[in-house]
Each structure stands twice: as C-alpha cells, then as structure tokens.
Amino acid sequence: MRFLFALILSAGSAYATAAQVLSVTEVAPGIYTHRGVHELPDTKNHGAIANIGFIVGEHCVAVIDTGGNPQQGESLKLAIKHATSKPVCYVINTHVHPDHIYGNKAFKEAGVKFVGHEKLARAMATRGAYYIDKAADQLDVKLTADDIIPPDIAVKDHLDIDLGGRTLKLTAHSAAHTDNDLTVYDEQTDTLWISDLLFIEHLPVIDGSLKGWLAELEILESHPYKTVIPGHGPIVKDWPKSMQPEKDYLEMLLTEIRAMIKQGKYLEEAVETVGYSAKGQWQLFDQFHRKNVTTAFAELEWEN
C-alpha cells in the first residue's frame, strides 16, 4: 500500500512539468476561448497572458493564436483533444506578439497549415532573434528558431478558409496594433475574433500605427457583431459599446499629442504630460502608457 502511494507520488512529480489541459470556454457554438490574465509577461506566468483558442468545423479545427510559451501551446492542443476528435487543419496567428505565437510548435505537423498576415513572416524574421534572446531572461522560457514558425499561407486583404460547413473570413488589416494584424470572422455565429485590435481593461498597446488603428476601428464599429473576442479582456456581447474606452484612449492620445507637436513641444515633455487623465481606467497603465506616447509621437511628428 505504501509502495503504491509512493509510486503515485513519483508519477505525479514526473508529470508535474508536462502540459496540463488548458481551461477553455465555449463562447459561441464551436468557438472555444481561454481567457488570459492582465499581467506583464514575466518569469511567473511565462508569457501566457493572452486570450487564445480554437474554432471547430465539421471536418477540422482552426487554432487561433497558440499562446505565450511552447507549453501553453501543448496545453491548448490537449484542450482541443478534449473538446473534439477532429484534427487541426489551420493555425492562425493574429499578429507577431510573443503571447500569441510562442505555442506554434505544438501544432507543427503534416496537414496543418499556418496562416498569417502577409507581413507576419517579415515581422517574425526581424524580431525573432530578439524575441528568442529575451524569452530566456524575461519569461524563463527556452526558445529556439524552431519555435518561431512563419505562415505557410500569407493573407493579403482577405481569405476564406473552410473547416467543413464553416467558413472563416480572414481580413489582413493595415498597420494598427502592429503592422501585421489579422482578424477572423465566423459567419455562422456572427463572431469576430478581433484579437489585439481590441483591449478591454488592459491598456491598449501601440506597436503599429495610432492613426491606422483608429481607422480600422472606425470600419469595424459599423458592423453589429454578435460576439467579439478581444486579445485581452472579457468576451464582448455588446459591440461596439465595449470598444469605446479603447477608442477614447487612442483618440485622446491623437488629439493631445497633435496639439503638443503643433505647439512645438518635444517628446520628452509629451511623455510626462499626455494622457494621464486615463490612468485610473486601465490596468497596466504605468507599464505601457509612456511607451504608447513615445510610439505615437514618433508617428505623428511625420504627419503631412
């Protein structure tokens, strides 16, 4: 009896580092998401902070973003196995950021096509070495070049992919959150997987174009989607209302920074003064706001 107990214990510890089944919720028929946490990527969460998930068709499954480390990718793979017996046929990366692509390798096998924005491969190539280097220090995650998997299918403008009885409409956007944002629309449930074009609660992070992002939101807000899945924050059932705080924040940056540039003020001053009225409304404001002002200022000083 004691022997058996010891055996179970040792088996337990041996598997302690293996992937656990990722918790997912079916937010619309056949659409499963895992809710991320509003934290900076660090050595405790190992970069697993974003909303990720999958969509199940009659023939196969499309994974949408694979997670913040290879193990989260494995956990997501287990969650898919629990939810359906259908195989994965597509892995869609919504953009280049580490919390969305570091689980890619778990899905690399024959029959699986990786899909991304036409500029995703370039972004992965120019950032890859830097990302791999940083992952060890900042996330305590060991990555190699094999973990950064560029798309097999590059989306320019639009692409429909068929999961069997379910068509996903992919849209490649102009520079907004990054210069390689891709959204996924499921016609069947009127769901838009908008990913990091929408941040809720977590301060939006600009790594593409402030003006471009506002332009994309203006297009997207005219459609009354039933469900919208953001990259960070809760599932949205009242689009476009839930998007308003993000839009307000980005518009405020645009207005205030433009005014400062017009007055001949400098980046150094803008970083100290612009946008602090929004501080109470967002999580991770202190971590990302000054960087946002910097990125936006550098963009706006080249207007006209």
Partner 1 sequence: MKKQKTRSWLLALLLMPALALAEGDETEWTSKIKNQYFAGKSIEESNDIIEIEAPYRAEDPALVPIKIVSKIPQTKDSYIKKVLVLVDKNPFPYVGEFEFAPESGKADLAMRVRVNTYSNISAIAEMNDGKLVMTKKFVKASGGCSAPIGADLDAAMQRLGKMKFRLDEGVKIGEPNLAQLLISHPNITGMQMDQVTRFVKKSHFVKEVRVSFNDKPILTAKTDIAISADPNFRFYFVPDKAGVLKAEVSDTSCESPTSRDACTAGNSYSETYTLNP
- Contact residues for partner 1 (CB under 8 A)? 119, 121-123, 125-130, 133-134, 145, 175, 178-179, 206-209, 212, 263-264, 266-268, 271, 290-291, 294-295, 298-299, 301-302
Query: What CA–CA distances, in Å, run from 216 to 64, 266, 279?
Result: 20, 28, 24
Q: How many CB atoms lie within 10 A of CB 76?
A: 29
User: From the CB of 207, what's the least distance to partner 1, in Å?
Assistant: 5
CB 172 within 8 A of CB 155: yes
Longest dimension (CA), the chain: 80
Q: How far apart are CA 257 and CA 182, in angstroms?
A: 27
User: From the CB of 80, what's the least distance to partner 1, in Å?
Assistant: 30
User: From the CB of 65, what's the least distance to partner 1, in Å?
Assistant: 19
User: From the CB of 176, what's the least distance to partner 1, in Å?
Assistant: 9
Instruction: Closer to partner 1 by CB, 69 or 180: give it.
Output: 180
User: From the CB of 149, what's the least distance to partner 1, in Å?
Assistant: 12
Instruction: Closer to partner 1 by CB, 248 or 272: give it.
Output: 272
CB 228 within 8 A of CB 198: yes
Instruction: Closer to partner 1 by CB, 19 or 123: give it.
Output: 123
Q: DSSP secondary structure string, 118-150?
A: TTHHHHHHHHHHHHHHHIIIII-----GGG---
Q: How far apart are CA 194 and CA 227, in angstroms?
A: 10
Instruction: Closer to partner 1 by CB, 185 or 288: give it.
Output: 288
Closest CA to 33 of 23, 21, 43: 23
Instruction: Closer to partner 1 by CB, 33 or 94: give it.
Output: 94
